[in-house]
Structure 1
Amino acid sequence: MLLEEPYGEFGFFNPTGHAAIYLSDVCAETPTRLRRCQPGETGVVLSRYHAVGGYDWLAVPLIPYLYAVDDPEQIPESADQKMVLRLRDRYRRHHLADIVPDDPKHEIPKGDWTQLVGESYDRRMYGFAVKTTEEQDGALIAEFNDRDNTSHFNLFFRNCANFSEGVINFYYPHAIHRNFIADAGLMTPKQAARSLNSYAKKHPEMDLRTFVIPQVPGSIRRSTPVDGVVESLVKSKKYVLPLAFLHPVVTGTLVAVYWGDGRFHPDPKSAVFEPTRDETPVSASTQTASSQPVNITATVVPVSTTSGEATIVRTTYQTGGQN
């Protein structure tokens, strides 16, 4: 599961972030149909989106989902908004044109489709990995390929966290549940992660591992920490100060709820995913730190787009000292 930090104007008013499911052994035949991965493939990210092609869920391969490129060596060392927009539109034209067609009124279509690709340019993500079996993966593929995929998105009751809850509970029934105190009964991304973390501690056979996918450096504004419902009220001056003035007893109760049942923070010692070094985020979470020095080679590579040229920096990692 991916717990993704909020960003932008929407993230300012709704700091609950985003939740998605990463499956390392399931891949996308199309954005709406799943299959088993072939050797060398790195899996797929599934999530529920609002108003993207009318679908309930969409599947995007891992590297494009994170960086809007097909090859890890094409990931830019740093990025700005113009570069990211060009990379996203280039990927859209090649792989998502049936779902996000050209817009005659705009060179690049507007809408939430941009959340499908290049998410690591906008936000940092925390990963929570658990074991699955081939039988479980096969059952999930069959379930998703057979069921209706029509959007009925609802911010409160059919959101991205509800989707992640359903997938995790498909593998491990009752692993994720709502918190009626800290989140007023709503399912939030942070509650999904908190539930999974708590359940895994009681079931060591799940082999819970954690990792971090950093936000790509650059001029794009940094994402902010993920909050739950009560947590966002307690930690935000724009909400808690007026509430404390008007309803001090209610405010005190909310603070008590937060300190008693609303706190959860991802492991700060989680492994950091490096796409040019690690095959998958899961492999990053299991490997031990190398005692050998790492040599880094950067090469400037021009990429043609419909809007001109986008220059990226290809970064290569080698261990073992000097060449």
Structure 2
Amino acid sequence: MYAALFFASFAAQGSVALLVEEPFGRFGEMNPTGHAAIYLDHVCAETPVSLRTCAPGELGVVISRYYKVNHYDWVAIPLIPYLYAVEDRSDIPLAATAQLETDLRDAYRRRHLREIVPDEADGSTPEGDWIQMVGSSYDRKIYGFQVRTTAAQDAELITAYNEGHNRSHFNLLFQNCADFSRKLLNLYFPKAVHRNILADGGITTPKQIAKSFVKYARKHDELDLTTFVIPQVPGDIPRSTRVNGVAESLVKSKKYLVPLAFLHPELTAGIVAAYLGSGRFEPPKETHVFRIEDVEAAREAEISGELSAGSR
């Protein structure tokens, strides 16, 4: 009940949530900074590359930047498919295998994403980073940092992104998914979010975006900051690992820290100092668990409230 009230508190007006997603797989071992995306609960996808205001009852969209998805800079996916690669809550599996994950993703791609993620020449499923935008919760644990928005702010966002130049200029160091989230959040709240030059070497990381966003939101009580966690779906898929910043990754990894300390002790001391001084931030350990049924209940309450208001 408490979780339902938590999500219902945002129903009458919109919200924006920064999603900080844990790293997974081989690339995640090399780059433990994870992934960043944005959940907009009153903005929906007209197509994967165009936005509109949600109709009553719709659950919103997750938008982010990906590498080599048909030259687009951003793609927007409805909430349930983004998390679970299905279109209805009743179809979300209680547990998942790697094969089920693959099958659900490709089935959704063939129904809705073929124009931007086409089949291979032989009709088979393509490889690539597109898999990160469908069924994300099978691979990762996700932390959310959510604040209120107004209808005017959402409308400004829709106009800006629909009229903008949606062509990819992805760069892992300076135009990555966290940079995309930083710029989107700053459109809603100018100068709210920034990089950490010392702790991350100027690279924008999901953890730093969360840290600066939380700091900003806590100074503005009217934003009503709340946090939540979306658990990784149980099953035999390997579990994701904790999100780290750049300096944090070095400090907490002996295989990198020990040889670096031997070769460059002064540099290593500087990295450790940067992390201890400004690089520490931990996702909340005790927080609300994000459940689709609670979001649906909030939308139903919103519709009921509008109908009641209209009848008076």
Instruction: Tell me the TM-score normalised to structure 2 length.
Output: 0.88
> Are 1:21 and 2:35 matched, yes or no?
no
Give the count of matched residue pairs.
Answer: 282
Residue 22 (structure 1) shift: 0.3
Q: 1:265 to 1:281 in 2, by over 3 A?
A: farther
Q: Which residue of 2 aligns with 1:167?
A: 184
| Superposed CA offset, 1:236-255 (max 9, x none) | 11210111121222222222
C-alpha distance in 2, partners of 1:252/1:75? 48
**C-alpha offsets along residues 269-294 of structure 1, whole Å, 9 cap, x if unaligned?**
1100122x3116999xxxxxxxxxxx
Q: Contact 1:3–1:126 (CA<8 Å) still a contact in 2?
A: yes
Q: Deviations over 1:292-323 (max 9, x none)?
A: xxxxxxxxxxxxxxxxxxxxxxxxxxxxxxxx
Q: 1:35 to 1:110 in 2, by over 3 A?
A: same
Cross-structure match for 1:74: 91
For the pair 1:158 / 2:175, whether they are aligned, the reply is yes
Find the residue that maps to 2:62 and give its secondary structure. Answer: strand
Question: Which of 258, 276, 295 is 1:279 aligned to?
Answer: 295
Determine the structure 1 residue equivalent to 2:145: 128
Say yes or no: does 1:94 pair with 2:111.
yes
1:178 aligns with 2:178: no
CA distance in 1, matches of 2:174, 2:259: 27
Over the aligned positions, Cα root-mean-square deviation in angstroms equals 1.4
The Cα of 1:59 is off from its aligned counterpart by: 0.3
Is 1:189 aligned to 2:206, yes or no? Answer: yes
Unaligned runs of 5+ residues in structure 2 are 1-17, 300-312
Q: Which amino acid letter does the alignment assign opposite residue 95 of structure 2?
A: S
Q: 1:119 aligns with which of 116, 133, 136?
A: 136
Greater share of residues in helix: 2
CA deviation map 1:102-157 (0-9, x unaligned): 11346211111111100000000000001100000001101111111110111111
Pairwise mapping of residues 1-323 of structure 1 onto structure 2 (< 5 A)? 1-105=18-122, 107-275=124-292, 277-279=293-295
Deviation at 1:53, TM superposition (A): 1.1
For the residues of structure 2 that align with 1:86 and 1:162, how far apart are their CA atoms? 31
SS at match of 1:109: coil
User: 1 CA distance for matches of 2:174 and 2:295?
Assistant: 35
1:316 maps to which residue?
none
- Residue 153 of structure 1 aligns to a residue in which SS? coil
1:65–1:117: 8 Å Cα contact kept in structure 2? yes
Structure 1 segments unaligned to the other structure (5+ residues) = 284-323
Q: Give 1 or 2: higher strand fraction.
A: 1
Q: Secondary structure at the match of 1:51?
A: coil
Contact 1:7–1:223 (CA under 8 A) maintained in structure 2: yes
Letter in 2 for 1:28: A
| Identity across the alignment (%) | 59
* Match in the other structure for 1:318: none
Deviation at 1:41, TM superposition (A): 0.6
Aligned residue in 2 for 1:310 = none
Three-state SS of the structure 1 residue aligned to 2:258 is: helix
Higher relative contact order (CA 8 A, sep 6+): 2
Instruction: Give the AA of the match of 2:294.
Output: D
Do the aligned residues in 2 keep the contact of 1:273 with 1:281 (CA within 8 Å)? no
Q: Distance in 2 between matches of 1:209 and 1:78?
A: 28
> Partner amino acid for 2:94?
E
